[in-house]
Amino acid sequence: MDLSQLSENQKTILKQFREVVKDCQLPNDEDAYLARWLIARDFDIPKAEKMLRNSLEWRRQFKIDSILNDLKPSEVLRNYVSAGLVGQDKSLSPLWITRYGRMDMKGILRSAKKRDFVMYIAYLVETSISKVITDPKKYKPTPDAIVNMGGVVPKSYYFSSKPDTTNKKSLSISRGSKEQLEFQVKEAATVLKWDFHTEEGDISFAVYKKQGSELIAIVPPDRVECDMSSEEGEIHCDEPGVYVIEFDNGFSYLRSKKIWYAISVESAPLMNQNGSDLDKI
């Protein structure tokens, strides 16, 4: 972004915007990074601030800043999602290609969870951004070298059967209703884990922490398609208290849902000073 093209008034607004968001932990502190939010909202500071803070919260919630180190994409996603950075256009802007015509989306979603697919796309984008920032001239501008060619997903990758119900409890949720399960966390550094699936259809899932009479969203409500594979996850509870897991079928006016779930409250593993898990040493 060429900041020299900004008017004097826009440069003044940029300085004001930097002051407004100085409390934010930004992934990039350069003027060009901040200017993009202002440009997207026609240099309206309140709107740009809201957009930036929402983006930072989304990155925190889905751990985007550590996704390159933490995410381990499955084989089917690595081999059959055809998307990625291929080089630069004539103006030297990064060129990204997504070959939807060569992707077997039906096969991919029969072999990987929707959430895993979405997070893999985020992983590819972050990978591309990292390459452009750290090594803009050295990555190969050859499509076949950067983007796999897609193709039909072999049925051997498909989820073979319904998820296992061993060691899981069942819960029936009437149409248009929801169920909440409470869990007492007695100390900080505790991990709340979940593993659930439906017998048919999707369900909205959320995790809250009780604060007086209010429920504070820790994992915001999101509809999860989990009849073919279990939905698994965990949060680290920074504070003791009552945590609430919610299964919401309020969007379904015609069908009740049956859920199989296993939820546990466990102590987090001890870490040494360099971040290694002491339980594994």
pLDDT digits (tens, 9 = 90+) for 47-99: 999 999 999 988 988 889 999 999 999 999 999 998 887 777 776 667 888 88
Given a cut of 90, whether residue 22 has pLDDT beyond it is yes
Given a cut of 80, whether residue 277 has pLDDT beyond it is no
Residues ≥6 apart with Cβ < 8 Å to 190:
236, 237, 240, 265, 266, 267, 268
What's the order of all strands across the beta sheet hosting 169-173?
169-173, 257-267, 190-198, 231-237
The 10s digit of each residue's pLDDT in 96-106 is 888 888 889 88
Q: What residue type is assigned to position 88 of the chain?
A: Q
For residues 107 and 245, what is the distance between their CA atoms, to the nearest angstrom?
31
Query: Please, are residues 194 and 233 in contact by the beta-carbon 8 Å criterion?
Result: yes
Residue 72 has what pLDDT? 92
Domain boundaries, the chain: 3-61, 71-157, 169-267
Pick the CATH number of 3-61 from 1.10.8.20, 3.40.50.11740, 3.40.190.10, 3.60.10.10: 1.10.8.20
98's tokens: 């997504």
Residue 270 has what pLDDT? 54
- CATH fold for the domain made of 169-267: Jelly Rolls (2.60.120)
Q: What is the mean pLDDT of residues 38-45?
A: 94
Q: What residue type is assigned to position 225 of the chain?
A: E
Q: How confident is the model at residue 148 (pLDDT cuts 50, 70, 90)?
A: low
Q: How confident is the model at residue 141 (pLDDT cuts 50, 70, 90)?
A: very low
Cα distances (Å, whole numbers) of residue 129 to 125, 126, 161: 6, 5, 38
| Residue matched to tokens 């809201």 | 50
Give Cα 88 to chain centroid, integer Å: 27
Lowest mean pLDDT among 13-17, 156-160, 161-165, 252-256: 156-160
> What is the number of residues in the chain?
281
